[in-house]
């Protein structure tokens, strides 16, 4: 087994998480919050390797649609990257260290220079290098304890005899974490962001090499490799674990199916999300898919001939009783029926997806006894979203040739560009967080455009046009025609298969940090004088690199999260107490996050237990002491 720093770190933090990630190879749908530490860290790396514009492109590319919050983060990158570049020396980026036991990437390997100048220039000292690791973080102290950079020196020198690493540095770029005040307009807030970025100074932190850290780490590797049990390490850090819903609540909408390789080129099933303005031709287009069944929510079925099931509330009267079945229950019943596969439909179409989301909300209100999410803001949004997405996952997993989701287009939201100009965001009419998750579950998101009589299907996505999906297309736009769509789909599928077989052929050529095989080879050639004979970027190595970035990002999130960002109820396990902590309070180490109901129930239980204990105490005779009177005094 080839190990990496991130792999061991993951095992140390929670063996069960390690098992899910590395042994079961379960993937999660990434969170698309604008301050996602993984995406920000990746973009910073790109910026330091290339330039600001590449960094911003990299950052925007991670999201199905861009909002004002994304632009705020991009402003920070734009201001901080040039400052960081000024203190980073010249050198080789993304140098891979790899043998049969270990894989890791050095962010920057810089040749050591002479102090004296020759012909006005400092000269490189042969075979002497410094290592720089980039961190987008305010938590420098955490990284001072990390073994990561020590491993890089150890393995680099081991794999490159005669080369010497002189010094180790972290290049720390501070994060600007300020919030928009309630009474502050966006442009004033952005001025404040810029002022904070002006004050922020990236710095180099030198780390003294400690060989004992490497020895300790090798013991940890032994422990990990020999492990046969993978217990859960439950604690407050679970809050930041990608697998939390799966591990603790049994929800599995986030997990991609079965742990077995698929032959992508042979995959026939298509999962497509179409959106566009009303009457643009979405439903008519979907009707062309073979043997369709429409799950229709809006009754707009007049112009298509596909059989359909209305998805809406059903009211039945039996005798004097009226029974109402909510639309969401109807939808779930239909999915259960389709799962039996006792029919010959080939295409299942949901028209309109956002209506099913609204039905899901009403169903959950009924279940939770609330009238709006704000009645239980702590959990309700999350519960609604989870109910919706886990059901949608069942739909996507149905064994039919095609699953087509249809949504209306929403153009009611503007985003404000850096300069203050407003542009309209074009996206499906679905709550943003949910829409981002759905985009992560489908093959292709496509927009149906009607311009007079001309109808087109657009795969274009940029900062204002929502898009995404598993497959990337070379084509931006095609006529709204089923055969043309099949061609684009086949081409995109083939590209995805090629990328899997040979990751360096990816059109983007990146592995999550913008790292390219070519860069690595050039760097190795320059540094070691040879290009390795074997291709360097094995799938395993690429996975290790992505995992490395993910683990770093998660650590970053955890470090930042030591302070609460909203009022939160906790159960303190060590002394079995219940507390409500407020925004800005430190997160208690032994605290488990709970709901308001659990908090109330816990307080009640403690009160009852303490009354019971009092009742059980042997009755002692109490002497009432007479209050002394003034005279007695
Ligand atoms: S939620 Fe907690 S216990 Fe479960 S895998 Fe994640 S870290 Fe481990």
The answer to whether residue 463 scores a pLDDT higher than 60 is yes
Ligand 1 closest atom vs CA 235 = 2
- Which of 20, 26, 232 has most ligand 1 atoms within 8 Å of CB, for mutation? 232
- Which of 229, 244, 246, 591 has most ligand 1 atoms within 8 Å of CB, for mutation? 244
Q: Are 41 and 549 in contact (CB under 8 A)?
A: yes
Q: Are 351 and 406 in contact (CB under 8 A)?
A: yes
**Better pLDDT: 360 or 138:** 360
Indicate the pLDDT class of residue 353, thresholds 50, 70 and 90.
Answer: very high
Measured between alpha carbons, how far is residue 377 from residues 16, 367, 381 in Å?
30, 15, 7
Tell me the mean pLDDT in the region 115-137.
88
Measured between alpha carbons, how far is residue 354 from residues 109, 347, 548 in Å?
50, 19, 36
- How far away, in angstroms, is 531 Cα from ligand 1 center? 41
* Rounded percentage of the chain residues whose pLDDT exceeds 70: 80
d(CA 32, CA 260): 26
pLDDT of residue 266: 47
- How far away, in angstroms, is 240 Cα from ligand 1 center? 9
Tokens of 399: 């064994």
Measured between alpha carbons, how far is residue 162 from residues 31, 89, 471, 475 in Å?
44, 22, 45, 50
Tell me the mean pLDDT in the region 126-152.
89
Query: pLDDT tens digits, residue range 145-154?
Result: 889 999 999 9
**DSSP secondary structure letter of residue 563:** B
pLDDT of residue 595: 82
Q: pTM (2 decimals)?
A: 0.59
H or E, element range at 354: helix 353-368
- How far away, in angstroms, is 6 Cα from ligand 1 center? 16
Q: List, chain by chain if needed, residues with CB within 6 Å of any ligand 1 atom.
A: 14, 16-17, 232-234, 237-238, 241, 243-244, 247-248
- How far away, in angstroms, is 239 Cα from ligand 1 center? 8
**DSSP secondary structure letter of residue 236:** G
The fold for domain 264-500 equals: Rossmann fold (3.40.50)
3-class state of residue 45 by DSSP? helix
Ligand 1 closest atom vs CA 234 = 3
- Which of 12, 13, 21, 241 has most ligand 1 atoms within 8 Å of CB, for mutation? 241
Of all protein residues, whose CA lies closest to atom 7 belonging to ligand 1? 238
Query: pLDDT tens digits, residue range 24-41?
Result: 888 776 677 888 888 899
The answer to whether residue 63 scores a pLDDT higher than 70 is yes
Tell me the mean pLDDT in the region 17-23.
90
pLDDT of residue 183: 84
What's the whole-number average pLDDT of the chain?
Answer: 80
Ligand 1 closest atom vs CA 238 = 2
- How far away, in angstroms, is 232 Cα from ligand 1 center? 6
CATH of 5-256+532-557 given 3.90.320, 3.30.450, 3.10.310, 3.30.70: 3.90.320
- Exposed/middle/buried for residue 230 (C-beta within 10 Å: 0-12, 13-18, 19+): middle
Residue with token string 């860290």 = 41
For 296, other C-beta atoms within 10 Å of its C-beta total: 22
Q: How do 444-451 and 270-276 pair as beta strands?
A: parallel
pLDDT of residue 622: 40
H or E, element range at 455: strand 454-458
Phi and psi (nearest 5°) for 398? -60, 145
- Exposed/middle/buried for residue 263 (C-beta within 10 Å: 0-12, 13-18, 19+): exposed
The answer to whether residue 57 scores a pLDDT higher than 50 is yes
Identical fold for domains 5-256+532-557 and 264-500, yes or no, is no
pLDDT of residue 261: 46
- How far away, in angstroms, is 206 Cα from ligand 1 center? 33
- How far away, in angstroms, is 216 Cα from ligand 1 center? 24
d(CA 80, CA 82): 6
Tell me the mean pLDDT in the region 567-587.
76
Indicate the pLDDT class of residue 548, thresholds 50, 70 and 90.
Answer: low
d(CA 363, CA 329): 8
Tell me the mean pLDDT in the region 501-515.
42
Domain-wise residue ranges, the chain: 5-256+532-557, 264-500, 563-633
Classify each residue of 70-80 as buried b or exposed e, where b means 16 or more C-beta atoms within 10 Å of its C-beta.
bbbbbbbbbbb
The answer to whether residue 477 scores a pLDDT higher than 80 is yes
Tell me the mean pLDDT in the region 512-520.
38
d(CA 63, CA 629): 78
d(CA 584, CA 596): 19
Tokens of 192: 């404040």
The answer to whether residue 533 scores a pLDDT higher than 50 is no
d(CA 107, CA 93): 5
pLDDT of residue 106: 93
Of all protein residues, whose CA lies closest to atom 1 belonging to ligand 1? 244
Tell me the mean pLDDT in the region 595-614.
82
Tell me the mean pLDDT in the region 442-448.
90
- How far away, in angstroms, is 237 Cα from ligand 1 center? 8
Residue with token string 């698309």 = 32
The answer to whether residue 79 scores a pLDDT higher than 90 is yes
Tell me the mean pLDDT in the region 254-262.
44
**Better pLDDT: 587 or 527:** 587
The answer to whether residue 543 scores a pLDDT higher than 60 is no
d(CA 271, CA 441): 8
pLDDT of residue 195: 95
3-class state of residue 478 by DSSP? strand
Of all protein residues, whose CA lies closest to atom 2 belonging to ligand 1? 238
- How far away, in angstroms, is 93 Cα from ligand 1 center? 34
For 415, other C-beta atoms within 10 Å of its C-beta total: 19
The answer to whether residue 180 scores a pLDDT higher than 90 is no
d(CA 188, CA 321): 59
pLDDT of residue 283: 92
Tell me the mean pLDDT in the region 548-567.
60
pLDDT of residue 259: 44
pLDDT of residue 520: 37
**Better pLDDT: 515 or 331:** 331
**Better pLDDT: 448 or 501:** 448
pLDDT of residue 614: 66
- Exposed/middle/buried for residue 243 (C-beta within 10 Å: 0-12, 13-18, 19+): buried
Mean pLDDT check: name the lowest of 22-31, 313-322, 548-557.
548-557
**Better pLDDT: 140 or 368:** 368
pLDDT of residue 544: 56
**Better pLDDT: 590 or 362:** 362
Q: Strand order in 577-581's β-sheet?
A: 577-581, 568-572, 591-594
Query: pLDDT tens digits, residue range 414-444?
Result: 878 777 778 888 889 998 888 888 888 888 8
Q: Are 469 and 439 in contact (CB under 8 A)?
A: yes
For the chain, give the longest Cα–Cα distance.
107
Indicate the pLDDT class of residue 273, thresholds 50, 70 and 90.
Answer: very high
3-class state of residue 204 by DSSP? strand
The answer to whether residue 405 scores a pLDDT higher than 90 is yes
Indicate the pLDDT class of residue 479, thresholds 50, 70 and 90.
Answer: very high
- Which of 18, 247, 250 has most ligand 1 atoms within 8 Å of CB, for mutation? 247
Mean pLDDT check: name the lowest of 122-126, 346-350, 462-466, 546-550.
546-550
Indicate the pLDDT class of residue 1, thresholds 50, 70 and 90.
Answer: confident
- How far away, in angstroms, is 20 Cα from ligand 1 center? 10
């Amino acid at each position: 087994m080839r190990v990496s720093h991130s792999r061991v770190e993951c095992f140390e933090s929670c063996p069960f998480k390690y098992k899910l990630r590395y042994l079961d190879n379960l993937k999660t749908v990434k969170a698309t919050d604008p301050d996602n530490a993984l995406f920000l860290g990746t973009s910073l790396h790109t910026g330091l390797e290339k330039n600001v514009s590449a960094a911003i492109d990299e950052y925007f590319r991670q999201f199905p649609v861009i909002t004002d919050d994304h632009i705020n983060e991009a402003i920070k990158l734009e201001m901080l990257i040039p400052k960081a570049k000024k203190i980073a020396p010249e050198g080789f980026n993304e140098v891979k260290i790899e043998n049969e036991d270990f894989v890791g990437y050095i962010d920057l390997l810089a040749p050591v220079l002479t102090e004296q100048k020759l012909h006005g220039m400092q000269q490189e000292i042969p075979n002497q290098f410094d290592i720089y690791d980039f961190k987008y973080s305010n938590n420098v102290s955490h990284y001072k304890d990390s073994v990561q950079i020590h491993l890089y020196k150890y393995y680099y020198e081991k794999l490159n005899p005669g080369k010497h690493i002189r010094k180790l540095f972290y290049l720390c770029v501070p994060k600007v974490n300020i919030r928009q005040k309630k009474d502050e307009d966006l442009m004033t807030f952005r001025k404040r962001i810029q002022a904070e970025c002006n004050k922020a100074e990236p710095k180099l932190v030198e780390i003294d090499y400690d060989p004992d850290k490497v020895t300790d780490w090798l013991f940890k590797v032994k422990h990990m490799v020999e492990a046969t049990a993978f217990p859960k390490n439950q604690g407050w850090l679970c809050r930041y674990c990608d697998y939390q819903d799966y591990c603790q609540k049994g929800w599995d909408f986030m997990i991609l199916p079965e742990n077995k390789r698929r032959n992508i080129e042979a995959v026939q099933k298509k999962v497509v999300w179409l959106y566009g303005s009303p009457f643009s031709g979405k439903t008519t287009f979907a009707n062309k898919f073979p043997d369709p069944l429409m799950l229709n929510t809006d009754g707009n079925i007049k112009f298509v001939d596909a059989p359909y099931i209305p998805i809406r509330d059903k009211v039945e009267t039996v005798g004097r009783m009226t029974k109402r079945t909510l639309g969401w229950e109807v939808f779930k019943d239909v999915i259960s029926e389709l799962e039996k596969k006792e029919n010959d439909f080939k295409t299942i179409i949901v028209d309109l997806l956002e209506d099913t989301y609204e039905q899901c909300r009403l169903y959950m209100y009924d279940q939770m006894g609330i009238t709006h999410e704000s009645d239980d803001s702590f959990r309700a949004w999350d519960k609604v979203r989870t109910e919706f997405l886990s059901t949608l996952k069942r739909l996507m997993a149905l064994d039919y040739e095609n699953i087509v989701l249809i949504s209306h287009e929403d153009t009611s939201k503007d985003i404000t560009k850096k300069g203050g100009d407003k542009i309209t965001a074009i996206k499906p009419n679905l709550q943003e967080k949910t829409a981002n998750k759905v985009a992560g579950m489908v093959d292709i998101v496509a927009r149906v455009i009607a311009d007079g009589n001309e109808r087109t299907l657009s795969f274009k996505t940029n900062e204002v046009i929502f898009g995404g999906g598993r497959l990337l297309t070379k084509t931006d736009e095609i006529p709204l025609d089923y055969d043309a769509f099949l061609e684009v789909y086949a081409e995109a599928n083939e590209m995805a298969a090629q990328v899997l077989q040979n990751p360096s052929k990816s059109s983007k050529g990146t592995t999550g940090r913008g790292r390219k095989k070519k860069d690595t080879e050039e760097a190795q050639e320059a540094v070691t004088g040879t290009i390795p004979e074997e291709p360097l970027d094995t799938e395993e190595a690429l996975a290790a690199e992505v995992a490395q970035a993910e683990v770093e990002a998660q650590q970053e999130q955890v470090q930042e999260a030591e302070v609460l960002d909203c009022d939160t109820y906790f159960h303190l396990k060590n002394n079995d107490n219940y507390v409500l902590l407020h925004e800005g309070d430190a997160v208690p180490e032994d605290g488990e996050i709970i709901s308001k109901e659990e908090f109330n129930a816990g307080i009640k239980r403690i009160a009852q237990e303490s009354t019971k204990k009092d009742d059980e105490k042997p009755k002692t005779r109490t002497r009432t002491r007479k209050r002394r009177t003034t005279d007695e005094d």
